[in-house]
Amino acid sequence: MRLWKPAPACSIFSSQDAALAGSDPRPWLLLADGAGSSAVSELGARGVVSGLNCLLHTLDRQVATLLDAEQTPAPEEGRRLALLLVKHARGLLADLAAEHRRPLKDFRCTLLLAIPGQRHLLWLKIGDGALVIERTQAAAAPGREQPAGLETLGRAGKGEFANQTTFVDEQLQPDDVQSGLLSMEGIGGVALMSDGAADRLVSRDGRQVSGQLGQWFQALREGRLKRRGLTQRFYAEDFTDKTGGDDCSITLTARP
């Protein structure tokens, strides 16, 4: 099995969304989408993404123990870390609410997170948007891989009515937090996207993912994918046709 190494990453985000991707000391992806009904949710999204980024650097030794070891970690270990990250995210929003003298609901946002380790992947999802992995299979040439399929992780996260979803806020319960641990065997890429991007790239039930994402993974691992190209594609007329017009953000990383 090829070990996952610090990988190329790319992201774009807009308006009420915030997204970060990194590869030091390991690949990681974060994306938060501020609630449209909340007055300053863009501050909440940015605060959560920035704060969790700092926390992950602080907890890297703990993360390495969970995701890099050869032995398979117990599911409850991954769940414990996921809930710790969510608790911290809610604390970040509480701090913003106190600083700006506003109710916490004014800052609420959705949250997507993925950390590919050497052996295992930790993922976390609160609310809508989509978390997609690229499954690979060995190609004929030794040491080469080819795309074998794209799949989503977690439930769709949308409610019965338009724009109804779950947020990081004072109402959030542990059962609202979707998370899991996966073996990194056969995973070639990971992408997080807000609901505006998911409208364009993932079917409503999450069962189908556009092949465009596979092309972006390949371009990323070859060093050809640029933020400018992503932005131009996302706002092209043929790409936005018959969509809700929501802000669209994406962040992705791929095995080199």
pLDDT in tens, 169-187: 999 999 999 999 999 999 9
Task: With respect to residue 2, please indicate whether it lies within any of the assigned structural domains.
Answer: no
Q: Supply the range of the domain harboring residue 38.
A: 9-254
Task: With respect to residue 1, please indicate whether it lies within any of the assigned structural domains.
Answer: no
Whole-model pTM? 0.90
Task: With respect to residue 29, please indicate whether it lies within any of the assigned structural domains.
Answer: yes
At 8, the pLDDT band (50, 70, 90 cuts) reads low
Of residues 139, 120, 250, the one with CA closest to residue 180? 120
Task: With respect to residue 4, please indicate whether it lies within any of the assigned structural domains.
Answer: no
Task: With respect to residue 3, please indicate whether it lies within any of the assigned structural domains.
Answer: no
At 232, the pLDDT band (50, 70, 90 cuts) reads confident
Task: With respect to residue 94, please indicate whether it lies within any of the assigned structural domains.
Answer: yes
At 136, the pLDDT band (50, 70, 90 cuts) reads confident
pLDDT of residue 244: 60
Exposure string of 87-124, with b = 16+ CB inside 10 Å and e = fewer, is ebbbebbeebbeeeeeebbbbbbbbbbbbbbebbbbbb
Distance CA 155, CA 171 (A): 19
Task: With respect to residue 237, please indicate whether it lies within any of the assigned structural domains.
Answer: yes
Of residues 194, 155, 156, the one with CA closest to residue 42? 194
Q: Into how many domains does the chain fold?
A: 1
